[in-house]
C-alpha cells in the first residue's frame, strides 16, 4: 500500500471510542476522519464534541466514503460480524472490538470475506500489545519458571444496573463474552496452542446470560488453565502463571497502564519486575497500521480470534450440558 496515513471512521458513538480517539490523535500513521451514528443530529453533536471532521447520520454513509481506509467497529457483540463484513465489502480494513464474533463459524465467514477483498480484520484485544504482556510471554518462553503447568485468572465486577446491553442474551451478552474472554485469551496466548478439552459451570441470571462463569481448559502440552468471570462479584482482575520452578503474578493483566509491575517467584525468592509504560490502546492502532501498510500479520490474527471463539463456545456448551467438551 503506497499511502502513509490511514483515514479512520468510527462506526457509532459508543463509549469505548473514548479510549481509541487519543491514540488516533497522536499516531503519525493514523488520522480520525469521520464518525457515524444512527441519526444526523447525534453524529453531528459527537463530531463537534470530539473535533472529528466528518459526521454521517447512517452507518451506510460512512462505509460509502471513499476516503475512509479503516473502520473501528465497537457495535454490540451480535452486530460485529454483520458490520465488519459490510465494511470489508465496502473496501475498508476493520479493527473490531472483542469478541470479534460469537462463534468460530462467524469468524470463518469474516476471514473468507477479508481474503476475497484483500483487507485486514483484527480483534481489539488491546492488552496483547502492551509491554507487560510481551514481557510475561518472554519470561515463560525462556524458561524463567520452568515447564509451564497452569495459568489461572479472573475478571469480575459488580454490575449496578439491570438494563445493561451485556445482560441481553440475544445481543451476545454474558460475562464470559464480555470479560471472561480476557483470561481465556491470555491462557491460550501463554500456552501457545489451543485447548483440546474444556469444562464449564455457569450461574444463569434473570435474562438467561451467565452472570458468573467458572471454567477449565486442558491443553495438549500438559498445560491447564482455570478462570472465572462475572457481573455479580467484587472487582477482581489477575493472572497467575505457574511453572515447575516458579510463578509469575500479574495484578493488572487485562488493562495495564504506564507503571506496572509483575512478580517472579522462585525458590531463591521473589523479584519485582517493573514494566515500561505504554498507552494501552495505541499498540493495537499501530499494529493494525503495520499490517495494512507493510503486510505483516496482526498480533491478534483471525486464527487466534477463531481459537478464542471456539473455546468460549465449547465452554458454554459444557455449562449447558454438564459434560466436558472436546474441541
Q: pTM (2 decimals)?
A: 0.96
Specify the pLDDT at position 211.
Answer: 97
Q: Cell numbers at residue 62, please?
A: 460512512
Average pLDDT rounded to a whole number, residues 72-86 = 98
Question: What value does the mean pLDDT take over residues 264-290?
Answer: 95
Domain ranges in the chain with CATH number 3.30.360.10: 128-280
Closest C-alpha among 143, 134, 128, 155 to residue 262 = 134
Q: What is the per-residue pLDDT for 1?
A: 44
Burial of 50 (0-12, 13-18, 19+ CB in 10 A): middle
Predicted local distance difference test score (pLDDT) of residue 278: 85
Calculate the average pLDDT of the chain: 97
> Is the predicted pLDDT of residue 232 greater than 50, yes or no?
yes
The answer to whether residue 219 scores a pLDDT higher than 60 is: yes
Among 239, 251, 263, which residue's Cα sits nearest to residue 190? 239
- Residue located via cell numbers 453533536: 45
In the chain, the N- to C-terminal Cα span, in Å, equals: 38
Per-residue pLDDT, averaged over 179-205, amounts to: 98
Which of 158-167, 203-212, 261-270 has the lowest average pLDDT?
A: 158-167
- Span 220-238, average pLDDT: 97
Give me the sheet containing 6-11, strands edge to edge.
54-56, 30-36, 6-11, 70-73, 93-97, 121-124
* 42 pLDDT above the threshold of 50: yes
Residues of the chain with CATH 3.40.50.720: 6-124
State the fold for domain 128-280.
Answer: Dihydrodipicolinate Reductase; domain 2 (3.30.360)
**CA–CA separation, 171 and 59 (whole Å):** 18
pLDDT surpasses 80 at 2: no
Give the right CATH number for 6-124 from 3.40.50.720, 3.20.20.70, 3.40.50.300, 3.40.50.2300. 3.40.50.720
Amino acid at each position: 500500500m503506497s499511502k502513509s496515513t490511514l483515514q479512520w471512521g468510527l462506526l457509532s458513538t459508543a463509549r469505548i471510542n473514548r479510549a481509541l480517539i487519543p491514540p488516533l490523535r497522536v499516531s503519525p500513521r493514523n488520522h480520525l476522519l469521520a464518525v457515524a451514528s444512527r441519526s444526523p443530529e447525534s453524529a453531528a453533536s459527537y463530531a463537534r464534541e470530539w473535533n472529528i471532521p466528518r459526521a454521517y447520520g447512517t452507518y451506510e454513509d460512512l462505509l460509502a466514503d471513499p476516503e475512509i481506509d479503516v473502520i473501528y467497529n465497537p457495535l454490540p457483540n451480535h452486530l460485529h460480524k454483520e458490520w465488519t463484513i459490510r465494511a470489508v465489502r465496502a473496501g475498508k480494513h476493520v479493527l473490531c472490538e472483542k469478541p470479534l464474533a460469537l462463534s468460530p463459524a462467524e469468524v470463518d465467514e469474516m476471514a473468507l470475506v477479508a481474503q476475497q477483498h484483500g483487507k485486514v480484520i483484527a480483534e481489539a484485544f488491546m492488552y496483547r500489545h502492551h509491554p507487560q504482556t510481551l514481557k510475561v510471554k518472554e519470561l515463560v518462553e525462556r524458561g524463567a519458571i520452568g515447564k509451564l503447568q497452569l495459568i489461572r485468572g479472573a475478571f469480575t465486577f459488580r454490575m449496578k444496573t439491570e438494563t445493561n446491553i451485556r445482560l441481553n442474551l440475544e445481543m451476545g451478552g454474558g460475562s464470559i463474552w464480555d470479560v471472561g474472554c480476557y483470561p481465556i485469551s491470555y491462557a491460550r496466548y501463554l500456552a501457545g496452542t489451543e485447548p483440546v478439552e474444556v469444562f464449564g459451570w455457569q450461574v444463569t441470571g434473570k435474562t438467561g446470560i451467565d452472570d458468573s462463569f467458572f471454567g477449565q481448559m486442558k491443553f495438549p502440552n500438559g498445560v491447564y488453565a482455570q478462570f472465572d468471570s462475572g457481573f455479580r462479584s467484587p472487582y477482581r482482575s489477575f493472572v497467575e502463571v505457574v511453572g515447575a520452578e516458579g510463578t509469575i503474578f500479574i495484578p493488572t493483566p487485562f488493562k495495564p497502564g504506564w507503571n506496572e509491575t509483575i512478580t517472579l517467584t522462585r525458590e531463591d525468592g521473589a523479584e519485582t519486575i517493573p514494566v515500561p509504560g505504554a498507552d494501552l490502546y495505541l499498540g493495537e492502532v499501530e499494529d493494525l497500521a503495520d499490517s495494512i501498510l507493510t503486510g505483516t500479520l496482526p498480533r491478534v490474527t483471525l486464527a487466534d480470534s477463531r481459537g478464542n471463539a471456539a473455546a468460549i463456545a465449547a465452554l458454554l456448551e459444557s455449562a449447558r450440558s454438564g459434560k466436558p467438551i472436546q474441541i
